[in-house]
Amino acid sequence: MSQTAETARKAEHDDVRKRWLLSAPALAIIFMASIGPLLVVVVYSFLTPGPYGDVKWAFSTDAWISVFLQRDIFEGTLGIADAHLQIFLRSVRLSLFTTIATLAFGFPTAYFIATRPQRTQALWLFVITIPFWTNLLIRTFAVQEVIRNEGILNTALVGLGIISAPIQILYTDWAIAIGMIYVYLPLMVLPLYASMEKLDFRLVEAGYDLYATRFRVLTRIIVPLVKPGIVAGSILVFIPSLGAYVTPRVLGGGKQMMLGNLIELQFGAGRNWPLGAALALTLTVIVMVALLFYVRYAAQSERRHG
Amino acid sequence: MASGRSNFSIRHQPGFTTVAVLCFALLYLPIVTLVVFAFNAGRSVAIWEGFSLRWFEAAWNNERVIEASIRSVQIASVAAVVATIAATMAALATTRTRPYRGLTFKYAFINQPLMIPEIVTAVALLIVFARIKVATGYSGLGYLIVAHTAFCIPFAYLPIRARLESMDLTLETAAADLYATPWKVFTRVTLPLLWPGIIAGLMLAFVISLDDVVITEFVKSGGQDTLPTYMLGQLRRLVTPEMNAISTVFLLISILIVTVFFFISRRST
């Protein structure tokens, strides 16, 4: 009796060991080219910048201090790092704006797809996802061509006599916002659709039976029921927006920086690798907090709805 | 009274269809414009001057474009195959089991590349690979392949895991009952059933690697441009429809792969 229990335990032990061996290659590769380097970034953020980039092996917390504060060269006092703060705030502002705009466009679109006949829903979803799986750079480039001064938008507006001279959109915050909305819209539509697809329209019908207006049905029944989708979509759009690098680089033209570009600058012309490392970790922490918030929310709503 | 309400649809919301149609239109407008002007005879990307294939010809004769394209495909092929093999093994190890110690850890580990902003991974790799390059003197494509493989694993893992979770162990148990060796069970039962998931994962990984800009831009050594990083470099200048032509071909390939992926994963569910 105890011998069978013993064999069973040994079998289970062997099984777990086999499963560790099987997953070892994937874990090793990710450790080598993702998690490991991230740990090195933590170390680098506590070192001193070298004269030609790279670092000197001397401990220093200067990088972390200068993420938020800057030393006044004349008085030697510490103040808020205005330049960083400005870029930081712009990143948050643009990301929030992108999230709200994609929600405003994505909500009706997801609703439209979810209320199509069952057969055609997959097709509509496919139509939304195609641009998403095509190259991000190409999509950004496509937006650039449309909004540039000589692009079709300005050409058309001038041609129609609506404006007399092309409006400068490219290389402004607006350009970055338009680009990010365009690029991340599918990330909003997909989770919204996923929760709208499960929407029980008997509840909507009950609302109308009780003389609710369309607006009231929308705000009191539909929105609360698809809230998990709204939260998921918002997180999915906000996170990549905050870390965006390609879109601000191409559409902001290097003048309108976001966090991603500020980080790059420290490894290029800025020659301050520790500061770049500290900024990168700051971004990572913000993203992690947003993710953690989402995971907790998702777990909570799962428990509520079984 | 009743006939007055017969047109009333409980699913309708005013303006939603308009916004949705507008969305679909705006989503495709830039892409369609991009493709149309690839065929422009003139140098403009906004004023149509007649149909021509000259920009495709220009791209075809541009040595740097061809070189970058070949490099992109090389990296994506190796990275996608290695990532898919590793992801398949990992998926087999993390599905169809009772929860064991370290399972959650494995999930988090495998999905980690998806959670960290790409720019952060990019500078992290820059730091580490710069040191290794100096220490070993090797500066070949290996760095790019390892980096791509790592971020391809979670993408390959997703469809394979989904497929595995929809397969129960009945057939495998039956085969084992009939005295099949574990290896035979795997090659004759598990693998054929899992195949659609593996193909889907492979294609997803290939597209993701092909599309990458940020990590490649930071990891590549001189003269190691992939097609996306080459394009990123060109966008700083005044662009000609040659870029549209390159993008059009690139788009076509991506859409083709995604379409096949879509049909495979739809058939398998």
Query: Is the Cβ–Cβ distance between B123 and A279 less than 8 Å?
Result: no
Task: Write the DSSP symbol of residue B237.
Answer: S
pLDDT band at A1 (very low <50, low <70, confident <90, very high): low
A222 chain-B contacts, CB cut-off 8 A: 13
Find the CB nearest A109 among B19, B102, B123: B19
**Residue for token pair 């199509």:** A116
In a domain, B211, yes or no: yes
What residue of A is the nearest CA neighbor of B252? Answer: A134
A126 chain-B contacts, CB cut-off 8 A: 262
CA distances from B112 to A15, A151, B150 (A): 25, 40, 10
In a domain, B53, yes or no: no
Residue ranges of chain B with per-residue pLDDT less than 70: 1-6, 267-269
A281 chain-B contacts, CB cut-off 8 A: 120
> According to the model, what pLDDT value does residue B1 have?
41
**Which tops the pLDDT comparison, A1 or B150?**
B150
Alpha-carbon gap, residue A19 to A26, rounded angstroms: 12
pLDDT band at A76 (very low <50, low <70, confident <90, very high): low
Alpha-carbon gap, residue B219 to B214, rounded angstroms: 9
Interval A180-197: pLDDT, tens: 999 999 999 999 999 999
Alpha-carbon gap, residue A94 to A86, rounded angstroms: 12
Alpha-carbon gap, residue A28 to A30, rounded angstroms: 6
Q: Does the beta-carbon distance from A151 to B45 stay under 8 Å?
A: yes
SS (H, E, C) B38-67: HCECCCCCCCCCCECCHHHHHHHHCHHHHH
Q: Does the beta-carbon distance from A37 to B125 stay under 8 Å?
A: yes
Find the CB nearest B89 among A23, A144, A204: A23
Find the CB nearest A37 among B30, B83, B127: B127
In a domain, B139, yes or no: yes
> According to the model, what pLDDT value does residue B59 have?
92
What average pLDDT does this structure show over A90-106?
A: 96
User: Where residue B226 sits, what CATH number does that domain have?
Assistant: 1.10.3720.10
> According to the model, what pLDDT value does residue A5 have?
83
What average pLDDT does this structure show over A203-212?
A: 91
> According to the model, what pLDDT value does residue A71 have?
66
> According to the model, what pLDDT value does residue A255 have?
77
Q: How far is B238 from chain A (nearest CA, A)?
A: 11
**Residue for token pair 């080219």:** A33
What residue of B is the nearest CA neighbor of A264? Answer: B123
> According to the model, what pLDDT value does residue A61 have?
87
In a domain, B241, yes or no: yes
Domain that holds residue B173: 61-268
CA distances from A67 to A70, A82, B55 (A): 8, 10, 46
A111 chain-B contacts, CB cut-off 8 A: 13, 16, 20
**Three-class secondary structure of residue A51 per DSSP:** strand
> According to the model, what pLDDT value does residue B268 have?
57
Nearest Cα to Cα of residue A142 among B163, B38, B8: B38
A288 chain-B contacts, CB cut-off 8 A: 115
B149 chain-A contacts, CB cut-off 8 A: 29, 33
Q: Does the beta-carbon distance from B247 to A34 stay under 8 Å?
A: no
B51 pairs with which residues across the strands? B40
A80 pairs with which residues across the strands? A69
Q: How far is B181 from chain A (nearest CA, A)?
A: 16
CB contact set of B71 (below 8 Å; sequence gap of 6+): B141, B224, B225, B226, B227
Alpha-carbon gap, residue A235 to A216, rounded angstroms: 26
Q: What percent of chain A has pLDDT over 70?
A: 95
Number of domains in chain B: 1
Rounded (to 5) percent helix, strand, coil in chain B: 75, 0, 25
ipTM: 0.89
Q: Does the beta-carbon distance from B46 to A33 stay under 8 Å?
A: no
Q: Count contacts between A and B (CB, < 8 Å).
A: 256
B262 chain-A contacts, CB cut-off 8 A: 126, 129
A51 pairs with which residues across the strands? A53
Query: Is the Cβ–Cβ distance between B163 and A47 less than 8 Å?
Result: no
Residue ranges of domains in chain A, CATH in brackets: 2-78 (no CATH), 81-305 (1.10.3720.10)
In a domain, B206, yes or no: yes
Alpha-carbon gap, residue B88 to B201, rounded angstroms: 9
In a domain, B13, yes or no: no
> According to the model, what pLDDT value does residue B58 have?
93
In a domain, B92, yes or no: yes
> According to the model, what pLDDT value does residue B4 have?
47
* Vertex A282: Cα angle to A276 and A286 (nearest 5): 145
Over 50: is that where the pLDDT of A65 sits?
Answer: yes
Over 80: is that where the pLDDT of A250 sits?
Answer: yes
In a domain, B27, yes or no: no
Q: Does the beta-carbon distance from A38 to B121 stay under 8 Å?
A: yes
Q: How far is A19 from chain B (nearest CA, A)?
A: 4
Alpha-carbon gap, residue A58 to A274, rounded angstroms: 11
Find the CB nearest A291 among B18, B115, B127: B115
Which spans in chain A are helix H?
2-30, 36-44, 62-68, 82-114, 118-133, 136-147, 152-159, 173-197, 201-209, 214-217, 223-225, 227-242, 246-251, 259-267, 273-305
Query: Is the Cβ–Cβ distance between A271 and A49 less than 8 Å?
Result: yes
Provide the pairing of β-strand A55-56 with A48-49.
antiparallel
Question: Best residue in B82, B123, B203, B206 to probe A by mutation, most A CBs within 10 Å?
Answer: B123
Q: Does the beta-carbon distance from B117 to A291 stay under 8 Å?
A: no
Q: How far is B149 from chain A (nearest CA, A)?
A: 7
